[in-house]
């Protein structure tokens, strides 16, 4: 094969790759126009109705976040929602945020002692913009020796949903929903972006039971997991039975050894008694 043939094959390979990229790009753009763009509008409408109803009903929702060195920070949803949508020719973005005041009366009132622990708790309060930390004692160098902490203030929960023609997917981002300073993300394909997903998102925002971040498993894999669980359960039962049998056998051995010991003691006593009788007989003969 000559140089010209090699170059021609390389050109064809690159052309085929470029064609594949163009085809994939066109498919993403088509998915955005036909599924994602109208889906984002539908989800914005869903979130609008959701937040309006929550604002009217105002269900009492409290939840706890563990803060290192301090304990649980208790928050309550205030149901004051800020919902916005931004649209560009080839992208859409929805932003939702709402404040959650800290329920100070339900938070621990902690006395913090020691420089290291004080720095840990104070750093956590500062990092998450939580008030209620007060230094009560310092040494001669101004180093904190004691402090009190009782959380107060508020934490803002936020969610961002974005879709664009370039990626052809929807990105979900949640901040402070599961832990302070924590973020949860999820990428959704066009075929999964439907009313069922809106409902899962709504339940997640309203802090209701949901499966938003629980991945769907194929039936075959689910069956394998179920079989493995059953096998592990059978193994645990078998091990428990074996352990019970060993305990029973050990108890029986101890019982038998106890009986054998008692029998040996009786025999020894009998032998000792016989010897005593012989000695007593000898004494009588001497007399």
Q: Largest Cα–Cα distance in the chain?
A: 137
**What confidence tens digit (pLDDT) does each residue in 226-250 have?**
666 567 667 666 666 776 777 777 7
- Tens-digit pLDDT profile for residues 97-154: 999 999 999 999 999 999 999 999 999 999 999 999 999 999 888 899 999 999 999 9
> Residue 5: is its pLDDT beyond 80?
no
Would the pTM of this model clear 0.75, i.e. be above it? no
Burial class of 233 by CB neighbour count within 10 A (0 to 12, 13 to 18, 19+): exposed
Q: Where are the alpha helices (DSSP H) in 32-179?
A: 37-57, 115-127
Among 245, 254, 93, which Cα is nearest to 162's? 93
What is the CA 78 to chain-centroid distance, rounded? 25
How far apart CA 205 and CA 201 sit, in angstroms, is 6
* pLDDT for 36 beyond 60: yes
- 209-225 pLDDT, tens per residue? 999 998 654 555 446 65
- Residue range 177-189: mean pLDDT, rounded: 93
Lay out the sheet containing 82-88: strands in order across: 82-88, 91-101, 154-164, 170-175, 183-188
């Amino acid at each position: 094969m000559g140089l010209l043939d090699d170059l021609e094959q390389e050109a064809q390979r690159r052309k085929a790759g470029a064609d594949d990229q163009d085809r994939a790009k066109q498919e993403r753009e088509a998915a955005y126009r036909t599924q994602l763009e109208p889906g984002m509008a539908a989800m914005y409408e869903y979130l609008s109705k959701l937040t309006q109803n929550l604002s009217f009903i105002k269900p009492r929702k409290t939840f706890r976040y563990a803060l290192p060195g301090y304990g649980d920070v208790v928050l309550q949803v205030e149901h004051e929602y800020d919902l916005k949508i931004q649209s560009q020719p080839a992208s859409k973005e929805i932003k939702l945020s709402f404040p959650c005041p800290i329920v100070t009366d339900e938070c621990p009132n902690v006395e913090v002692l020691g420089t290291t622990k004080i720095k840990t708790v104070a750093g956590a309060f500062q990092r998450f913009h939580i008030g209620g930390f007060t230094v009560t004692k310092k040494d001669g160098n101004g180093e904190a020796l004691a402090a009190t902490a009782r959380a107060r203030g508020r934490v803002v929960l936020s969610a961002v949903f974005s879709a664009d023609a370039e990626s052809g997917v929807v990105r979900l981002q949640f901040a402070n929903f599961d832990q302070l300073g924590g973020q949860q993300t999820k990428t959704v394909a066009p075929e999964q972006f439907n009313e069922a997903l809106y409902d899962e998102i709504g339940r997640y925002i309203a802090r209701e039971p949901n499966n938003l971040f629980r991945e769907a498993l194929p039936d075959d894999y689910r069956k394998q997991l179920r079989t493995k669980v059953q096998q592990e359960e059978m193994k645990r039962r078998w091990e428990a039975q074996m352990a019970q049998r060993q305990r029973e056998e050990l108890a029986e051995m101890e019982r038998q050894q106890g009986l054998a010991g008692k029998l040996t003691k009786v025999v020894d006593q009998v032998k000792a008694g016989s010897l005593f009788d012989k000695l007593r007989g000898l004494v009588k003969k001497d007399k």
